[in-house]
Homo-oligomer: A and B are copies of this chain.
Amino acid sequence: MNVLIVFAHPEPQSFNGALLHTAVAALEAAGHAVQVSNLYAHLFDPVSDRHNFTTTRDASFFKQQAEELYATEHNGFAANIEAELQKLAWCDVMIWQFPLWWFSVPAILKGWVDRVFAMGRAYGNGRLYEHGPFRGKRALLSLTTGGSAADYSSGGLQGELAGILRPIHRGMLQFTGFTVLPPHVVYGPARQSETERQTVLEAWTARLPGLAAEAPLEVGRY
């Protein structure tokens, strides 16, 4: 498999960082190819604007989707955006490694989607959901939470995690054609012992080589 890991955490020594390094090692040891988009390390700018493009369709009024279609036709994406699009084309499996912030991904990862999932390349002209350009590829959220598993269960303080993740699973991943795999969730690593964390990393190592054969997640439509 060709695996793209998008990593969005400000602290390299964090448990998210450990999960990233574990994934790279486990996948490479199993003979898979890995590319990492380390958004904080690469100072990725999440603000979507004209700097997504080297081309300009209309200098007087910025309509992002129109600029995206124009850039698609004229090879007009900025180099860092084109590089991410090439990684998306290359990968069989995409993993997002991030901490759950405010019931969503960190802004640096949201902006990666805003800028890279461009009309013409990631969707458009009726190519969406099961007809999306990324059909045949698999995607998996690997995330940490502050709260416990009980907090993120039905009736818990925060409520069921599946519902919280649905806009990401449905509106970002399935929308562009990805087959979604069950998320890898680590609840409250900050309160885990070193032994518990080690067990988590071993389970992650054991899961990764088999991603191509896993049954997809039933996300459910809204």
Q: How far is the CB of A103 from chain B (nearest CB, A)?
A: 3
Bound CA–CA A195/B221 (angstroms):
34
List, in ascending order, chain B residues with CB within 8 A of A167's CB. Answer: 102-104, 164, 167
Known contacts: A13-B61, A171-B158. The answer to whether A104 contacts B104 by CB under 8 A is: yes
A114 contacts B by Cβ under 8 Å:
yes
Residue A108 CB within 8 A of the other chain: yes
- In the complex, per-residue mask of A7-26: 1 if CB is within 8 Å of any chain B CB, else 0: 00011010000000000000
A46 within 8 A of B: yes
Give CA–CA (A63, B166) in the complex, Å: 27
Could you tell me if A106 and B48 are in contact, using CB atoms closer than 8 angstroms? yes
**Neighbouring B residues of A190 by C-beta, 8 Å:** 63
Nearest-Cβ distance from residue A172 to partner chain B, whole angstroms? 5
Chain B: CB-nearest residue to A50: B10
Complexed CA–CA distance, A61 and B18 (Å): 14
The answer to whether the Cβ of A154 comes within 8 Å of any Cβ in the partner chain is yes
Q: Does A84 contact B (CB under 8 A)?
A: no
Chain A 61-100 interface residues, beta-carbon cutoff 8 Å to B: 61-65
- A104, B171: Cβ atoms closer than 8 Å: yes
Q: Which A9-61 residues have C-beta < 8 A from chain B?
A: 10-11, 13, 40, 45-50, 61
**Cβ of A106 and Cβ of B102 under 8 Å apart?**
no
From B13, B45, B106, B163, contact of A114 by CB (8 A)? B106
| Contact A159 B170, beta carbon cutoff 8 Å | yes
Chain B residues near A170 (CB-CB < 8 A): 103, 159
Known contacts A40-B49, A159-B222, A171 near B110 by CB under 8 Å: no
A172 to chain B: closest residue by CB: B102
Contact across chains for A110 and B102 when beta carbons are under 8 A apart: yes
8 Å CB contacts to B: which residues of A161-196?
A: 163-164, 166-168, 170-172, 175, 190
5 closest A-B pairs (Cβ-Cβ)? A159-B222, A103-B171, A107-B111, A103-B167, A46-B107
List 4 additional A-B contacts (Cβ < 8 Å) besides A105-B110, A111-B111, A159-B221: A11-B62, A46-B47, A107-B108, A160-B222
